A and B are shown apart, each in its own frame.
Chain A
C-alpha cells in the first residue's frame, strides 16, 4: 500500500508542475484549452492527495506497523480516534496535510472562478500549483510519509500522552487550514499584479476564502488556548510562546486585510496596501508552519537538526522577494482612485485599524524573533518575556476595540456632526453608565486597563445593539414585519455587514474574558494532607481523600495508573459547595529503567488531568501533583520479590501498590485558580465564528445572480459561435 501512496504523491507532484507550465504557457499564448487543462490538473492533484491521505489513514486504522510514521505516533492499543488523528502529530504527516488542504482549496477556488477572471485565474493557478509543488516535493523527496520499515515493528510508540485530548487533535488541521487558505487570496493577488488587473475583481473572487482562512486560523488559535487551559497543568491559555505567536501574526494581518479590502471595493483606495497585506499574511503563514516544525526559536542550535530548514527558508525568501519585486514593478497600476476626504470617515477608521493591527503584528514579530535579533546585534542570545508583550499589546488591543465600535458608526467619505451625535450618543452613554456601575459595585477600578476595556466592551456591544435595533426598526416601518422576521431578513439581506458586527461583539466579549481573568485571578499553590484546607480567593478548598485507579482510566486516554484527589470546595460566604476531582495519569515507560519492572509504570510520561468547575461568572480550576515518594519502598520490595512471576500476578502486585497510595497518601501539591469570566473567552470565540458563518453564508440573491451570469456567459458563447 505504501507504494500506491507514494505513487499518488509523485503523480500529484507532476500534476502540480504541469498545472504551472500549462497555465503559464496557455495564458501567454492565448491557448484557452491549455489553461482549462491546467485547471483540470489541479482537480486531479486534489483527488490524488486525497487518495494518498486515505492510504495513510487506512494504515493507521489497521495499525500497519510497517509504516514508519504509524510506528512513530500510533500503536495497536491506541484508541481509534487517536489512531485517525495521529497522522498530524508527525512532521511527515503535517507536511502532507498542508499539501492536501492546499490542493482541495485550490480545486475549489478554481472551480468557483471557472467562468470569471479569465486573465487573472491562469496566473493564480500557476502560483497555487507552484506552492503545491513545493510542499509535495518535500513530501516526496525529503520527508516521505510512506517510508516503510524493512521489518515491521513489533509495537508502535503510541501517540504522545500529552496530545491525547480531542481538542488537541482538531487544533492542528484547523490551524493548517487557516494557513493554507491564505494562499488562495495570495495567488489571485499575484495574478492581478502580473496582469495589471488591480481592480477589486480578485478581491471579490477570493473574499470568501480569505474569510474562511481567517475563521479557521482563529478557531485553531482558540482551540490551542483551550487545550492549554484545560489540559496543561499551569492554568493559563496564552504564554507568548513562539509557536503561539507564529499563528497569531498571520491572523492579525489577515484581520487587517479583511477590513482594508472593503476600502478598495468601495472607494478604489489602498490597492498597494492590500496586495502587500496579503503577501505579508501568506509569508507569515509559511513562517508559522516553519516555526512550529523547525524549532529554530526555542533554540538557534536546534536549527541544524531539522531537514526542512534550508528548503523552507529558501522558499519563504523566494516568495517574499518575488512578491515585493512584483509589487514595486506594478506600483503605477496600484495608484488610488480616490483620496481620503476626511478623518471622520469610515475609510479613515479602517486605515487606523489597519495601522494598529499591523503595529500589533510588528510587536509580536519583534518579540518572537528577538532571540535571533539580539544574537545578531549584540552577540548574546536573549529573550523578552510575557510582561514585555503585555506592555505593548494591551494599549494596542484597547485601541482596536475602540475602533471596532467607532467604525460601524461612521459614514463613508465624510461624517457630519449631526450624524456623529446621533450615532454616538446612546453607546457612549451606555459605556459611561457601565463605568459608574463597575466602579460602584465591583473591584474593577483596581486595574485601570481592565476598567477601560470593560467600558469599551460596553460601548461596542451598545453599538452593535443600536445598529441592529435601528435596522430592524427601519425595516418594520417600511414593511410592517414582526420583530423576528424583520431581524432575520435584515441580517439575511446584509450578511457581510451584520456578520461583521457579530464578530465585533464576539471579539469584545473574548477580550472581556481575557482582561477579567488575567487581572482578577486568584491563584494558590498549596501542599495539603488529607483533611487539610486551603483558602483561595473567596473559596475554602478541603482535601477530602486521595483516589487511585488501576487500569480504569475514565478520560479514554489509555493510561494504566491514575492518582487523584477528591476536594470539597465551599464559598466562604456560605452557599452550596461542590466537589472537584483532579488527577494525574501515569503511562508506563517504554523500557524497564532503574526503578525495575514495577517502577516502569510510575516513571514514564505522566499528564495532569485538570478538573474545572466552569461557570459564566467564574471558573474554579484545579490540578494535583501527587507525591509518589512513599511508593519507592513498596516498588523496590515488589521488584525484589515478584519480578519473575507471570503477567497476571504482576498486575495484582501493581494493583496493590496503587491501592497503597489510596490508603496512605502523603500530602499532595494542589494548584487552584479562581478565574473570573474566563468562560467568556470561549463564548466570545464561538460568537466570532457564528458571525463569520453569517458573513460567509451565500446570499440567495447572489446565487440567482450567479445563475444569470452563467446563463449570460453561455448565451454569449453560443452567439459568438453562430
Chain B
C-alpha cells in the first residue's frame, strides 16, 4: 500500500475510534446522570424510578440521629419548602443546621432516601465568602 493511502487510512481509523468513544461518553452522561433539584421541585413532583441530587440548606432544628441513621430536612436556599431526608453513612465535618448541602437519593413516600455516603457540604475554602458578605453589608 502506498504511504499516503496508509496514512489516510490510519487517520480515518483513529478518528472513528475517537468519535465512537465521544459518542459513548455523551450518551452515557445524559442517560446516567442524576438530576439536580431543589426541595420545592422535589415536593411538587418526583419520579420514584429516578435518582435525584438535592441541593439546599439544612432546616433549622430538623437534625435527628437515630442510631446510625441521620434524619434531617433540606429546605430551599431562599424559601421554606422542605423535604425530609433519611441518610446513612459518613456525615461530613462541616454539616450542620443552616448549611448548604448536596445529597443524592430516591424519593420514597415523600422522603428522600439518600444513597450511602452521598452527603456533601460545601468546600471549606468557600466559607469565607459568607462571612465577608455579612461584614460588608
A residues lining the B interface (CB < 8 Å): 68, 72-73, 89-91, 157, 160, 162-163, 232-235, 241, 243, 292, 295, 298-299, 301, 305-306, 339-340, 343, 355, 359, 362-363, 366-367, 370-371, 373-374, 377-378, 380-385, 387-388, 391-392, 525, 527, 605-608, 623, 625, 627, 629, 669, 671
Contacts and interface: CB of A to CB of B under 8 A. Distances in A.
Nearest to B25: A366
A535 B25 CA distance: 40
B32 interface: yes
Nearest to B53: A383
A90 B128 contact: yes
A186 B137 CA distance: 41
A354 B19 CA distance: 16
A525 B55 contact: no
18 contacts: A68-B135, A72-B132, A89-B125, A91-B129, A162-B124, A232-B93, A243-B123, A298-B122, A305-B133, A355-B14, A355-B18, A359-B21, A362-B22, A366-B25, A373-B29, A385-B104, A387-B32, A525-B68
Given A380-B35, A387-B32, 15 more contacts: A233-B92, A295-B122, A298-B122, A301-B77, A306-B129, A355-B14, A363-B25, A366-B26, A374-B30, A381-B35, A382-B35, A383-B33, A384-B32, A384-B33, A623-B90
A363 B125 CA distance: 26
A295 B94 contact: no
Q: Is the interface of A mostly helix, strand, loop or mixed?
A: mixed
Contacts of B62: none
Nearest to B21: A359
A373 B30 CA distance: 10
B16 interface: no
A383 B52 CA distance: 9
Contact of B29 (A90, A232, A234, A388): A388
Given A382-B34, A384-B34, A629-B65, A292 B14 contact: no
Sorted nearest first, the 10 A-B pairs with minimum C-beta distance are A382-B33, A381-B36, A162-B124, A382-B35, A234-B90, A607-B93, A527-B68, A384-B29, A160-B124, A384-B33
Nearest to B64: A629
Contacts of A233: 90-93
Interface string B1-14: 00100010010001
Contacts of A359: 18, 21
Contacts, number: 111
Contact of A383 (B36, B88, B122): B36
Interface in B40-65: 53, 55, 65
B67 interface: yes
Contacts of B29: 366-367, 370, 373-374, 384, 388
A340 B67 CA distance: 65
Contacts of A371: 36
Contacts of A383: 33-34, 36, 53
Interface range for B: 35 or more
Contact of B93 (A299, A391, A608, A629): A608
B131 A72 contact: yes
Contacts of B92: 232-234
Interface of B: 3, 7, 10, 14, 18, 21-22, 25-26, 28-30, 32-36, 53, 55, 65, 67-68, 77, 88-94, 102, 104, 117, 122-129, 131-133, 135
B130 to A, nearest CB: 9
A187 to B, nearest CB: 28
B36 A380 contact: yes
B68 A382 contact: no
A343 B6 CA distance: 11
B103 to A, nearest CB: 12
A163 B124 contact: yes
A371 B55 CA distance: 13
Contact of A72 (B28, B65, B128): B128
B36 A382 contact: yes
A362 B22 CA distance: 9
A391 B32 CA distance: 12
Given A298-B102, A525-B89, A160 B123 contact: no
B65 A298 contact: no
A1 to B, nearest CB: 21
B25 A299 contact: no
Q: Considering residues B55, B90, B91, which has the most beta carbons from chain A within 10 angstroms of its beta carbon? A: B90
Given A91-B128, A298-B122, A366-B25, A374 B33 contact: yes
B113 to A, nearest CB: 16
Nearest to B36: A381
Contacts of A605: 93-94
B86 to A, nearest CB: 15
B53 A669 contact: no
A359 B19 CA distance: 11
B122 to A, nearest CB: 6
B28 A391 contact: yes
A300 to B, nearest CB: 9
A610 to B, nearest CB: 11
Q: Considering residues B18, B122, B126, B135, which has the most beta carbons from chain A within 10 angstroms of its beta carbon? A: B126
Nearest to A391: B28
A606 B92 CA distance: 10
Contacts of A366: 25-26, 29
A291 B28 CA distance: 24
Nearest to A380: B35
Contacts of B26: 366
Contacts of B14: 355
A378 B133 CA distance: 33
Given A370-B29, A382-B35, A388-B28, A299 B55 contact: yes
A391 B34 CA distance: 16
Contact of A627 (B22, B65, B117, B128): B65
A370 B33 contact: yes
A392 B18 CA distance: 13
A72 B127 CA distance: 10
Contacts of A355: 14, 18
A385 B102 CA distance: 13
Nearest to A606: B93
Contacts of A367: 29
A586 to B, nearest CB: 11
A340 B3 CA distance: 10
Given A359-B21, A380-B35, A392-B25, A162 B94 contact: yes
Contacts of B122: 295, 298
Contact of A669 (B35, B36, B68, B123): B68
A162 B94 CA distance: 8
Contacts of A162: 93-94, 124
Contacts of B77: 301
A390 to B, nearest CB: 12
A143 to B, nearest CB: 10
Q: Considering residues A73, A367, A385, which has the most beta carbons from chain B within 10 angstroms of its beta carbon? A: A385
Nearest to B115: A385
Nearest to B4: A339
A339 B3 CA distance: 10
Contact of A73 (B10, B28, B117, B128): B128
